[in-house]
Structure formats: structure tokens, C-alpha cells
Structure 1
């Protein structure tokens, strides 16, 4: 074989490898940007719900208002996925799925949290996939309905993203449990998270890393149950108006937070620091 042909072949190999590395780096950077936007969306949802007054919480309108304000942020993520669509055409998606997956799971977590606040239910696989479509996408059929998609949504990314949702629901339940109507809402969230954990448990043998996230879900469920149990015990001790019970609940939650392992560790470190200062004196 002539030397020129060998050089040409290796030049093609080099160009292909360089193209692969460049595309991989672009997808990793885009996934990080999507992760940051999704986290900001989740923080925004928590802040908007906490800022709502008690009347809105009772009328179940605070969550809807919060989700409506968060959807523009989610559309920014969808626009980023639209720009990535040429990079993920055909078999490229499966080649670079590991680079796309982290940001996609974070996006599903934010989207499902907004959906829960608005509808009080779990977002479906088809609804998530429907947010990742465009007229320029790839034609894919779901349940005899064909749509143009940026890339196919995998069941593993869908379930892993939903599993992360349980942690946000735990924060949502505990942060609002001391507010008017928050006790009933916390009980509903607790039952919802318990149902999610039971349903996801059947998928753990088939979805990689789902078992690890199930362990985190179990911890989140335990925290909600502990807080709800403390509220029920404290409330049963008094025959008072709901307003006064809300004050007692707020104090109970404050004590519950102060007795958390993190607080005890911090307090222990402070005591050790104080003792060391005394020894120095």
C-alpha cells in the first residue's frame, strides 16, 4: 500500500477522533448548563411556594402560581436541547447518552416538581417526552402517536429523574408543615412519596443506579414521617384552635430541626472548640 494512502487513512482517523472529542466536550458543557438551570428552577419553585400566604396554600393556588412562573426557565432548557438536536441525530444519541443523562435527569426532576405543584400528580413518560419535541426533530411514535422529537427519552433517565423528585418533595413538605394547611399537605406528600418508593422498588433490578436513589428516597420518606409524627403527637395534647396549633407546630418543627443530626454535630464541634479555648487559657 502506498505511503500516501496510509497517511490519508490515519488523517481520517484523527479527524474522526477529534470530532468525537469535540462533540463530547460540547455535550458535557451543555449538560452542566442544563443542570444549573434546572437547579435554579427548583430553588425558584421552593422560594415562590414559601413566599405564598396561608390563604393561597389552603386554596391550592400557590403551587400553580409557582409552576407557571417556573415554566419559562424550563423552556430555556428545552431551547438548549433544541440546539443539541443536530449533535444527537441517529445513533449519536446512544453513543453520547452518558454525557446527556445527568442534565436530562436534573431537568426531569425540575419539570416533575413543577408538574406536581400544579397538578398534585406524577408527570407521565409521554408528557416528559412531549416537552422534548420540535418540528425539526426525529419522527418517533409513542402509543400510536407520532411526534418530532429532539431525541428519544429512555426509561432509565425518566425513572432516575423522578426518583430525585422525592428529595424535593421532602423539603417542600417539611418547609411548609408549620404553615396553615401545611399539616394536611405534608400528610399528602408523605403518602405520595411512599407510593413512589413502592412503585420504583419493582424497577430496581432493571435500572442501574436506581437502588442507590431508592436509599435516598427512603431517607426522605423517614424525615417526612418523623416530622408528621411529631406534629400529630403535639397536636393531640391540646384542644386548641387551628391558629394556636399552628404556632405550636412551628415551635415543634424548630425543635425538630435543632435536634437533627446535623445540628447536633455542629453543636458538638462548637463545644469542642469552646473546650479547646478553655484549655488554651
Structure 2
């Protein structure tokens, strides 16, 4: 028996009646319209996931290109070889990965899918402009600075032509040959390069230039170190002239750019002020000092 001496607990709550599920009228125009909306959302989500996967591949390959470009060393004389390999791999990215993204975005509102390919595009612009800077490192621009491609130049590279899978058929008797040629003309499409994404990707280039400045000093190339620092200063001067108080991402990148400029300027300051105290690259230390040299201890 229960401890409270009662006859047990009985659930006296009224039971819920099972209401039969109403059958949807598929012929209802409202139901049909919501079916259309559901299919559109499903297709949009699937396209978004496919673009994200392609953008991830572009990001990974672009990072590898940047690491490859940082392997350039004046002591090894491998600049031309590394630049040629980087140029081929970046061209493959344009012809394969960005072409696939352009096909996904064809006849679509590109701004709806901007967040899905933005990281890959910015990383690609960083790698592409860094390769161009190294290619034109020995050449001076009109204003005495190194030159890289602008937004329109990168947009011109990403122009594609649709490949027709149908075999060419010979016109039969009585058919108009110009009409057939007009129908079979290849259609052109492009990958839209957002100018905002170009500015954000180009701002990341300053971090690689800062590493280039420090690596050049490590390899003994002080001239490249000083020239890279000047390029960083030109970039920073241009970016701080922008009115970007409301652009949080750009303001954050400009803050990071300022830190890169300060690091490069500190390195160049040490080269100018204390450069005479540093040992020249390739100096030998095998020779023992003479007996009459006073080294400061007894």
C-alpha cells in the first residue's frame, strides 16, 4: 500500500482527443505557391553549399601559393622557377575553380551568395597581387612604386565562354546557314569581382609584404627590404585616406596594416642605424683572433 495510506494515485486529468490530421489540398493555389517557395529555398541552400566548398578549395590553394612565393631566396637564385610555378597554379585556379563558381552564380543575384565565396576571393586576390608584385619587383612604376593589377584587370581575366557539348551538325538542304551559326554561337559569362572584396583582399597583401621585408633582411638583401617598406608606406597612405568608419572589416584590416608598417619600419630603422654593427652575410668566423687582440677579458 502507499505510504500516505491512500488508494494510490489516479490521473484524473481529461484525456486529449486525437484530432484527425487534415488532408492538404494539393490543388490549393496557396499550397502550390508554398511548394514553389520550398523548392527555391532548397535549391538556394544547395547552391550555397557547393559554392562554399569551391571557395574553401580556392582558399587552401591560394595559401599554398603564398607559402610558395615566400620560398623565393636571392641566395638560391630560384625566383624565376617559383614564379613560373605559381603563375601556372593560379591560372589553373582561374580556369577551373572560379569557372565553376561562375557557373553556379550564372543568372543569379551574386550579392545573395557573396558571403559564400568572399574568403576564397580575398585570399586569391592576395596571392595574385603578391605574385605580380614579385614579378615587377625589379621594375619601377610611373610614380616610383611597384604596380599590381587593379579591380578591372582581375575582372578581365575571369571571362569565360560556354563549352557546347553538342556535336556540330551539317546543315541540310534548304536550311539557312547564318541562322544555324547564330544559334550555335558560344555564350559568354564571367565571375563577378566585387570591388569591395578587391579592396579587402588587397589590404591583406601588406602582411605578406611585411614578411617579405623581414625575409629579405634575413637573406642579406637590404635593398629589397627598404624598397618593400616604401611600398608598405604607400599602401597605408592610400588606405587611411578612405572614409571607412562604418566599414568594420576594412577598419580592422587597416589597423592590422598599421602594425605591419610599424614592424617593417622598425626593421629598416635597425638596418640604417645599426647596419654597420651587423655582420655581412657570408662572413667566415673560423679564423681565430690574434694574441695581441684585447677581447675585453683577461
Given the two structures, how large is their TM-score scaled by the length of structure 1? 0.73
By percentage of residues, which structure has more helix?
1
TM-aligned CA deviation for residue 152 of structure 1: 2.1
Q: Which residue of 2 aligns with 1:193?
A: 232
C-alpha distance after superposition, 1:13-55 (max 9, x if no partner): 21111111111111111111110010011011112x03x426x
CA RMSD of aligned residues (A): 2.5
1:16 aligned to 40, 48, 63, which one?
Answer: 40
Q: Which residue of 2 aligns with 1:31?
A: 55
C-alpha distance after superposition, 1:74-101 (max 9, x if no partner): 1232111111222112342121112111
Matched, 1:162 2:179: no
Specify whether residues 23 and 162 from structure 1 end up closer, same or farther in structure 2 by C-alpha distance, changes over 3 A only.
same
Matched, 1:246 2:272: no
Instruction: Confirm or deny: 8 A CA contact 1:67 1:115 kept in the other structure.
Output: no
Q: Which residue of 2 aligns with 1:132?
A: 158
Q: Could you list the structure 1 runs, at least 4 aligned residues long, displaced by more than 3 angstroms after superposition.
A: 62-65
2:271 aligned to 211, 231, 252, which one?
Answer: 231
**Unmatched runs of 5 consecutive residues or more in structure 2:** 1-23, 138-146, 164-187, 284-298
1:96 aligned to 113, 119, 128, which one?
Answer: 113
Q: Which residue of 1 aligns with 2:86?
A: 70
What is the count of residue pairs matched by the alignment? 225
Matches within 5 A, 1:264-279: none
Q: Separation in 1 of the partners of 2:217 and 2:206?
A: 16
C-alpha distance after superposition, 1:127-158 (max 9, x if no partner): 21122111239xxxxxxxxxx55222121111
Matches within 5 A, 1:108-127: 108-120=125-137, 121-127=147-153
Q: Which residue of 1 aligns with 2:27?
A: 4
Q: Separation in 2 of the partners of 1:63 and 1:154?
A: 31
Matches within 5 A, 1:177-216: 177-180=217-220, 182-205=221-244, 209-216=249-256
Structure of greater Rg: 2
Specify whether residues 117 and 20 from structure 1 end up closer, same or farther in structure 2 by C-alpha distance, changes over 3 A only.
same
C-alpha distance after superposition, 1:211-251 (max 9, x if no partner): 1101111111111111111122222458xxxxx53369xxx
**Unmatched runs of 5 consecutive residues or more in structure 1:** 57-61, 138-147, 239-243, 249-281
For residue 134 of structure 1, give the secondary structure of its aligned residue in structure 2.
strand
